[in-house]
Amino acid sequence: MSVHPSAIVASGAVVPGSCIVGPFCTIGPEVVLGEGCNLISHVVLDGRTRIGARNTIYPFTSIGIAPQDLKYAGEPTETVVGDDNTIRECTTISRGTVKGGGVTRLGSNNLLMAYVHIGHDSQVGSHCILANAATLAGHVIVEDYSSIGAFSPVHQFCTVGQYAFIGGGTIVTQDVLPFSLTSSRRENKAFGINKVGLARRGFSAERLAALQKAFRLLLTSKMNTTQAVEKIRELKTEDANLLASFVERSQRGVIK
Active-site positions read 120-121, 138
CB neighbour list of residue 236: distance below 8 Å, 6 or more residues apart: none
**DSSP H/E element including 213:** helix 205-219
Are the CB atoms for 228 and 221 separated by under 8 Å?
yes
Q: What are phi and psi of 136, to 5 degrees?
A: -105, 120
224-240 burial by CB neighbour count: b if 16+ within 10 A, else e? Answer: eeeebbebbbebebebb
Residue type, 52: G
* Sheet-wide strand order for 48-51: 31-33, 48-51, 78-81, 103-106, 123-124, 141-142, 159-160
Region at 53 (left for phi over 0; alpha for psi -120 to 50; beta for the rest): beta
Q: What are phi and psi of 246, to 5 degrees?
A: -60, -45
